[in-house]
Amino acid sequence: MSTNGHHQETNDRHPLRADEWLDARHAANREQTSPFARGRGTNGTPPPPPPGVEAHDPTSLPIFAGAWTSEGEGQLPGRARSEFSLRPLMAPTPEEHHHIHGADGEVQLDWELIAQYRAEISSRLTARLDKEGGRVTEEDREQMGLDVIEELIKSEAETLVSTGRPPWTKGQEKALKSALHAALFGLGRLQPLVEREDVENIIVIARGPVCSVWLELVDGRLVEAAPIADSEDELREFVSDLGARQNRPFTEARPHMDLRLPGGARLAAGSWVMAYTSVVIRRHGLREVSMDEMVYGRKACSPVLADFVAACVRAGKSIVVSGVQGSGKTTWVRALCSCIPPWEMIGTFETEFELHLHELVDRHKIVHAWEHRPGSGEVGIDGRQAGEFSLEEAIHHSFRFNLARQIVGEVRGPEVWNMLKAMESGPGSISTTHARSAEHTIEKLVSCAMEKGPQVTRELAISKLAAAIDIVMYLRSEVVPNPDGTFRKQRWVEEVLVVQPSIDAARGYATTPIFAPNQLGQAVATGKLDSFLAQELARHGFDLEAYKAESQANPGVATS
């Protein structure tokens, strides 16, 4: 041995690098690691020291081998199969927001090992819950899960130190605990994306071993993100697990699913009947929205138009908000509902909760919220699956709740009859539907009504809709450039129609554009407001003089 404590090279052998020493040391100590780490390919027999290394040689210790995080020579292995390990910290890019955030910045996690840790934690938690019996609340269950996570992290941290590896930083431990909590009680690898305030839609497409994730940001940009699953099978299993939590099956027998996620996002998934497994998640970032926000914050309409539709809500007019996908229909329904007096009792009927009026207790004092529940299992003699609860049943049930308003969410098919029943049963109902134009909205609803069966003729559908609907609001959206070269997604009201029955044999209904698009495509007053409706709305606070002034300032606006 030399005077400085290093062995002289013999027979052309070089001193071991740190990673080689760790592999040998780690293999020798596998049976001394945590119980969870055992059984991953070890035969229980420690291997002999590698050639050129004596058991008492201190120069092979990692402390003499240089920096842990340097590239290439001497780099710490990214993952050891016998225990959990964070990969080395990486410099984040703007698109890498899927990483868990800790005190030391963004930390990239090994999700395969997190899945294994989740299974171990779940097993331990189940054992503890079995001892408690059926006396555990959801809050207690989650707290017990957090305790198990803490115990596991502490055990594995001690294992790192005992095997000569650098300990986790506080930021890394925090990131790992967050990831395990999300995997056990939340949305796993999807959780960071759902929590991002700048994300509006999350699009996931899995093709065999490839999982592609795209984020549609609130400014209209589309950016790619890291996968949330390592294969199509894993994505299916993940979505199926989410559905099972709410008794919504996602199987080959039920190849599509709509689901409300914790936090209020809406998930739509399809597989087996699609070329690939596809998932789309819509985030609802703006819940407690007001008319002032729509006018001045989002610049979605003029003050006169906002004044008009607010008066329509207070007057109990039935309103249909239409537009293409992503045009802001649900946000507008929330804004319209903000004009409902707080003492009125409201009922909402949705396939998945999206309006969340029942959560805005400071604004809406009494809200009874119903949600559709699909059945499962075999179809009974009544043609229904066990456990199914339809919106039709919900509306029928709601007549005993002394409601002032019944608000039906999205109308995509025969559920238009639920909307009609609500509009015919009381004033001020509000619904949404997809349509390509304001005029086409009624025709779209007629088609939906006729899906009910051959007993529904076009004439019957038109007569019902024309009598029930008072106002149609049509929304438009597009991505527009900012002066600084960035982009934003702009949404606005393009047109507002008044709907009335008509003796016209061809149509059966008449529409009058109260607000129509100007040259910029934004809705402005046309001056076509009927005097009877104008006086009714004036009694509910509508400023007729402002409406007339706006129409006179836009003499060239289309009114046909």
Given a cut of 80, whether residue 13 has pLDDT beyond it is no
Residue 419 to residue 472: CA distance in whole angstroms? 14
Average per-residue pLDDT for the chain: 80
List b or e across 507-525, with b for residues whose CB sees 16 or more CB atoms inside 10 angstroms. Answer: ebbebebbbbbeeeebbbb
Total-model pTM: 0.71
Q: Coil, strand, or helix at residue 366?
A: coil
454-502 confidence digits (pLDDT tens): 899 999 999 999 999 999 999 999 888 888 877 888 899 999 999 999 8
Given a cut of 90, whether residue 555 has pLDDT beyond it is no
Contact 324, 441 (CB under 8 A): no
Measured at the alpha carbon of residue 239, what is the angle toward residues 236 and 245, in degrees to the nearest 5? 140
- Contacts (Cβ under 8 Å, ≥6 apart) of 449: 414, 416, 417, 420, 456, 460, 461, 464, 465
Residue 235 to residue 245: CA distance in whole angstroms? 16
Kindly state the average pLDDT of the residues 210-223: 90
Q: How far is CA 373 from the centre of its chain?
A: 19
Contact 506, 552 (CB under 8 A): no
> Residue 106's pLDDT is what?
58
Kindly state the average pLDDT of the residues 118-135: 81
Given a cut of 50, whether residue 424 has pLDDT beyond it is yes
How many angstroms separate the Cα of 209 from the Cα of each of 122, 161, 205? 26, 36, 11
How many angstroms separate the Cα of 545 from the Cα of each of 119, 304, 534, 540? 67, 10, 11, 14
280-314 confidence digits (pLDDT tens): 999 887 778 999 999 999 899 999 999 999 999 99
Q: What element of type H or E holds 211? A: strand 210-217
Tell me which residue of 538, 344, 361 sits closest to 427, measured CA to CA. 344
Place of tokens 């590698």: 50
CA dihedral sign of residues 452, 456, 462, 468: negative
> Residue 102's pLDDT is what?
43
Contacts 24+ apart (CB under 8 A), 51-55: 51/13, 52/13, 52/14, 52/15, 52/16, 53/16, 53/21, 53/24
Residue 194: φ, ψ to 5°: -65, -25
Pick the range with the lowest mean pLDDT from 30-34, 69-73, 389-393, 481-485. 69-73
393-416 confidence digits (pLDDT tens): 999 999 999 999 999 988 988 889
Residue 423 to residue 415: CA distance in whole angstroms? 13
Helix axes 416-425, 438-450, angle to 10 degrees: 100
Contact 178, 100 (CB under 8 A): yes
pLDDT-derived band at 79 (thresholds 50, 70, 90) equals very low
Residue 196 to residue 82: CA distance in whole angstroms? 33
Given a cut of 60, whether residue 4 has pLDDT beyond it is no
SS (H, E, C) 262-282: CCCCEEEEECCCCCCEEEEEE
The conformational region for residue 387 under phi > 0 = left, psi -120 to 50 = alpha, else beta, is left
Given a cut of 60, whether residue 389 has pLDDT beyond it is yes
Residue 184 to residue 197: CA distance in whole angstroms? 23
Residue 47: φ, ψ to 5°: -75, 160
DSSP conformation class of 560: -
- Contacts (Cβ under 8 Å, ≥6 apart) of 13: 51, 52
Kindly state the average pLDDT of the residues 374-388: 72
How many angstroms separate the Cα of 494 from the Cα of each of 271, 301, 429, 527? 36, 8, 21, 16
Domains of the chain: 193-280 (3.30.450.90), 289-373+385-552 (3.40.50.300)
Pick the range with the lowest mean pLDDT from 156-160, 228-232, 253-257, 537-541. 156-160
Contact 434, 323 (CB under 8 A): yes
Kindly state the average pLDDT of the residues 116-130: 83
Q: Coil, strand, or helix at residue 74?
A: coil
How many angstroms separate the Cα of 96 from the Cα of each of 90, 100, 105, 223, 310? 10, 10, 12, 10, 42
Residue 552 to residue 177: CA distance in whole angstroms? 63
